[in-house]
Structure 1
Amino acid sequence: MRVGIIGAGVAGLATAKTLMQAGHEVVVYDSAPDVGGVWSRTRRYPGLTTQSARSTYGFSDYPMPKDLPEWPSGAQVQSWLAAYAEEFRIPTRLNARVSRAAPVDGRWAVTLDSGEVDVVDRLVVANGVFCEPTMPDLPGQEAFIEAGGEVMAGTEMHDASLARGRNVLVVGYGKSACDVTMPLSQEAASTHVIARQLLWKIPRKIANVMNFKMLLLTRMGEALFRYHRLRGVEKFLHGPADPVRRSMLNSIGTVSRRQFKLDKLGLVPRGTMEGIVKGAIGLATEGFFEGVEQGSIVVHRDTTITRLRPGFAELSDGTTLPADLIVCSTGFKQSVPFLDVPGLQDDRGNFLLYRQILPLCADGLYFNGYNSSFFSPLNAEMAAVWIAAHLAGAVPLPAPDEMRTQVEKQIAFMDEATDRHHGHGTKIIPFSMKNVDEVLGDLDLNISKRVRASHWLNPIDPSAYREVTPALVARLRAQSPAGIPPRPTSLPSGSR
């Protein structure tokens, strides 16, 4: 088949490579001038790094180079993805924004902004769940801008020197807000962070010794959070050992308070570390709390901007701050404006996707990357394997009513687990590997129990899944009378 893929980020590239190996022709569309999605030079902000450690953030057969730092920068990740696209000869159409995609006679017509219409047999939406920034409503913004002030999304801030000598306000307290604050604070006359809600931050090295990947980027770390289907040791952890489980999680909060001097700084979040998933699991930005202690960064907790006026911002606590530049790192919308498919979302905007992949309302349509996780490349790659199997009719599916029931139960569970902070059903943290297990379980392609057991105490190693795609390709070739057209099922020469 000829498969169109919208988006050349992690999910789009993984889908293209996997489907090519399964014998399909693909074309990848992206509005940016380069591959990478959130890592594109058009979207990355100063201070951007991965949240997961380098060894865990990779494809099964294409890890990041070992000479990169533990938490690679945005530019380094984009370079790695560009090398991946070149290594596997992925056909991409860059600067090609999709304005509309619609079913036509069992196929899909993809219309670009240029007016060109491309027809494909199947369509994969991989535009990313962080594609459109959410901007707060700031009364007085027009007059503020007319007087020379600037308001921008964090993804629009590409050069820290824009803050030089200016009074900067960063709105938000998630990882992106704290990341962008650091380089701006080194240029600005003053830097204030406006935090509606404080979030717990996990040290990159707990107690300055243990890499956080040894705790939370393992199956044990994932099992500390209650899933709606408990298995094996999880039943013990959330049963007789529940006090120990709670203590393990909350001890990280105790370490964070001490390590970052949160009590002294007045930045202890409400609640306990156990409730971290109800807000966001965020890795601490290097130097952020040191900047607060030194006074180069000022955090205004539990406040919002109520009004802007020329040169100033008024806060909900009555404070008035000088302001020239306002950077909003306030989250993202999960948006598919080019796709008009009734029944794709429920009345709250949640995407109704079986296994985070298959919509319940349209044939020949798939999603990938709508399973945002700590291990996004691996989750996207395994979803691509599922898509390849489904294209070949090799995925046993429940009846439509049962699929809908499962999707609704999953959303209801995530509502409870994350207090509805799941990006309209697109965020699966902290249940990343649960998703991988379920996807591969459908295909009877999961890796051995022994290797999975090793990931209970050791960080997840994406290379453990290296043989999954070749195994599927071999199975499809054996089942197809005509076979699959020759495609590389292992790394080309010269690969890492």
Structure 2
Amino acid sequence: MAEALDLVVVGAGMYGLAAAKAFRQLNPEKSLAILDGASSLGGVWRKERLYPGLKTNNMLGTYEYADFPMDTETFGVKPGEFMSGPAMHHYLSKYAEKFGILDTIRYQTKVLTAEHQDGPDGGWVLVIQTPSGEARIAARKLIIATGLTAQPFLPDFRGQDEFGAPLFHGSEFLQYSSTLESATSVTVFGGTKSAWDVVYAYASKGVKVNWVIRATGHGPVWMAPPYVTPLKKWLEKLVHTRMLTWFSPCIWGQADGYIKMRNFYHGTAIGRFITNAFWSILGGDVITLNKYDAHPETAKLKPWSQAMFTASSFSILNYPTNIFDLVKDGTITVHIDDITHLSPNTVHLTSGAQLKSDAFCCVTGWKHVAPVKFLPEGIERELGIPHTPTTPSSEPLYTDVAVQRADDEILARFPRLKDQPIQNKRLKPLLDSDGISIKDKINPNTPLTPYTLYHFMVPPSARFLQTRDIAFAGALMSFTTATIAHIQSVWINAYFSDTLPAKTLPPVAADRKSSGEGVKSLEEIQYETVLQARFGKWRYPAGHGTQFPDFVFDAQPYCDLLVDDLGLQVHRKNGWLAEATEPYGPEDYKDLVAEFAKASEHY
């Protein structure tokens, strides 16, 4: 007989821990388990991924839960410093311990399947794999918090069986960290921030690095100093300053209440002129500060995309020494080229270059689908998670008609988005390259529908709006991980308990009123979901907007959206001027759980 639990959370990373903690606070009498396939908690900050020198892209004060500040005395991180990987793991462990969820985590437990149950109350039966074998768990509610970086994507290269040296994904760097000492020359493949991190780790140890960035790819990511603009503003604070978020065309931007201001910047010619100037100055400042054009080798690292159209891949230089100096002195050689094949200890490029390598690290991204098989077959369409599109008649949400309507609205509201940038005329998927393939069943190049979740968390289908028994936490990318995790955790728990205000979602309970002005119909909920999902395609073509929510300057409006959904105070500063100019941070939401608990008594 299957074990029965009130809630199962899949994933013990930042989102999973926050969701479980809020559930424990709001439902102390109910049963809970967090399942994770790893041997330690933390997600990207688990022990198995903490290679030497790993740090966050965030400095102290911005990458922490709202109700659990990271103090210097306990965690050893000083103001103005980036958190180390071990400090983050320690912090998350202490968070789980303080809020009484540490003992609910079951490690080395992988969820193989999750089958939805018939009936008005729904629920799920999970088949799990543990060190002792397979077992079953019945979960009344289920939160998938595996995020978008749970399954590494490592392609197969022609000739790799003869390569004879370590070949690994960037997420496995710790397991191959001995190469930091043993290797004399390595190849790193990829242009993302994680690739920069691996390149720096090797080069700072004196290891010769051949850095290959695909000529047919997206190019190197934007890398900004921690402080930008002529005023030397802290970048993380900048993107959470309300008056600057107005320059970002955002389909959910009206949630901040400044509708007229946003209409001016995006709906008028002069407003769009000012907006374009802002993005030009921001991008130009980063280019100038990094001095890309001062040397022919650093010029190869200049980003190919426009700053405005770049999402969470806009990252921060968090290294103790200048990585560009290592490029200039030849420790790092940048190759804008494609890989054709491998031979013994050698990586071969299209140009004919042969790179002798004692190790080959591939920073080639992730499979963005959840690592769980959902049943019955075909239920992905109702769940609103990526799946192979079918005919419009069998697509309950992401229909051709809904997509066209959404596109028309997006481009009418934000004419600037009609002028889409061409990032690379030679762009093609990695797996379309000669000599590169994949044997895995999950092919990132397979055309899938995007995540189509209401407010990026819950399925907008009639079945699941009735049962309210599943949510997806962290199915997005942003700079604002900890704060969004905190706010989503409250929202999801309110959704499960049917205590969201009626204006957000019509209530399920018969004794709650669902009529009145502003109450959304199922059709409105579904269209709003498609609209927000489709928005990423137009707003962030240089990011992952076609696959899942991926944003930077739109994170604060997203927080506003969720807080307003909860019926709580959106504007949390002291007066209009402070609202416009003072950056938001985790501390502004420290009492959110208590605020909602009090407010929900009236729903």
TM (normalized to structure 1)? 0.89
The equivalences for 1:71-150 within 5 A come to 71-90=82-101, 91-105=104-118, 106-113=122-129, 114-144=133-163, 148-150=164-166
Aligned to 1:345: 386
Aligned to 1:237: 265
Q: Is the 2:46–2:89 contact (alpha carbons within 8 Å) kept by the matching residues of 1?
A: yes
- Specify every segment of 5 or more residues in structure 2 that has no aligned partner in the other structure, as ranges: 254-258, 390-447, 506-519
**Structure 1 runs (4+) greater than 6 angstroms displaced:** none
Aligned to 1:474: 598
Quick one: structure 1 residues 194 and 426, their matched pair in 2 at CA, closer, same or farther if it must change by over 3 Å? same
Partner Cα separation in structure 1 for residue 558 and residue 233 of structure 2: 27
Aligned to 1:280: 313
Partner Cα separation in structure 2 for residue 183 and residue 236 of structure 1: 46
Partner Cα separation in structure 2 for residue 423 and residue 62 of structure 1: 34
1:14 to 2:18 alignment:
yes
**Match among 366, 369, 373 for residue 474 of structure 2:** 369
Find the residue that maps to 1:386 and give its secondary structure: helix
Partner Cα separation in structure 2 for residue 223 and residue 48 of structure 1: 33
Partner Cα separation in structure 1 for residue 140 and residue 170 of structure 2: 37
| C-alpha RMSD of the superposition | 2.4
Shift of 1:84: 0.1
1:227-261 deviation digits (Å, cap 9, x = unpaired): 12552432333343433332333223333333222
Aligned to 1:400: 522
Number of equivalenced pairs: 474
Aligned to 1:226: 249
Quick one: structure 1 residues 253 and 92, their matched pair in 2 at CA, closer, same or farther if it must change by over 3 Å? same
Partner Cα separation in structure 2 for residue 214 and residue 389 of structure 1: 29
Partner Cα separation in structure 2 for residue 336 and residue 391 of structure 1: 20
**Match among 238, 247, 271 for residue 215 of structure 1:** 238
Aligned to 1:493: none
Partner Cα separation in structure 1 for residue 243 and residue 363 of structure 2: 31
1:442 to 2:580 alignment:
no
Q: Is the 1:178–1:285 contact (alpha carbons within 8 Å) kept by the matching residues of 2?
A: no
Shift of 1:208: 10
Partner Cα separation in structure 1 for residue 489 and residue 386 of structure 2: 22
Q: Is the 2:13–2:41 contact (alpha carbons within 8 Å) kept by the matching residues of 1?
A: yes
Find the residue that maps to 1:257 and give its secondary structure: helix
**Match among 531, 536, 544 for residue 409 of structure 1:** 531
Find the residue that maps to 1:246 and give its secondary structure: helix
Partner Cα separation in structure 2 for residue 478 and residue 366 of structure 1: 24
Shift of 1:53: 2.9
Aligned to 1:297: 332
Shift of 1:205: 2.5
1:453-489 deviation digits (Å, cap 9, x = unpaired): 535433322111122210222234566xxxxxxxxxx
With 323-332 and 418-427 compared, the bigger mean Cα shift is at: 418-427
**Match among 68, 88, 104 for residue 77 of structure 2:** 68
Matched AA of 1:63: P
Q: Is the 1:237–1:245 contact (alpha carbons within 8 Å) kept by the matching residues of 2?
A: yes
Aligned to 2:455: 355
Partner Cα separation in structure 2 for residue 160 and residue 115 of structure 1: 33
Q: Is the 2:540–2:550 contact (alpha carbons within 8 Å) kept by the matching residues of 1?
A: no
**Match among 65, 70, 73 for residue 59 of structure 1:** 65
1:257-292 deviation digits (Å, cap 9, x = unpaired): 332220123233335433333x83122342222211
With 50-59 and 35-44 compared, the bigger mean Cα shift is at: 50-59
Aligned to 1:48: 54
Shift of 1:451: 5.1
Partner Cα separation in structure 2 for residue 71 and residue 435 of structure 1: 25
Aligned to 1:30: 36
Shift of 1:87: 0.3
1:429 to 2:435 alignment:
no
- Specify every segment of 5 or more residues in structure 1 that has no aligned partner in the other structure, as ranges: 480-496
Shift of 1:30: 0.9
Q: Percent identity?
A: 25
TM (normalized to structure 2)? 0.74
Partner Cα separation in structure 2 for residue 322 and residue 294 of structure 1: 19
Q: Is the 1:447–1:464 contact (alpha carbons within 8 Å) kept by the matching residues of 2?
A: no
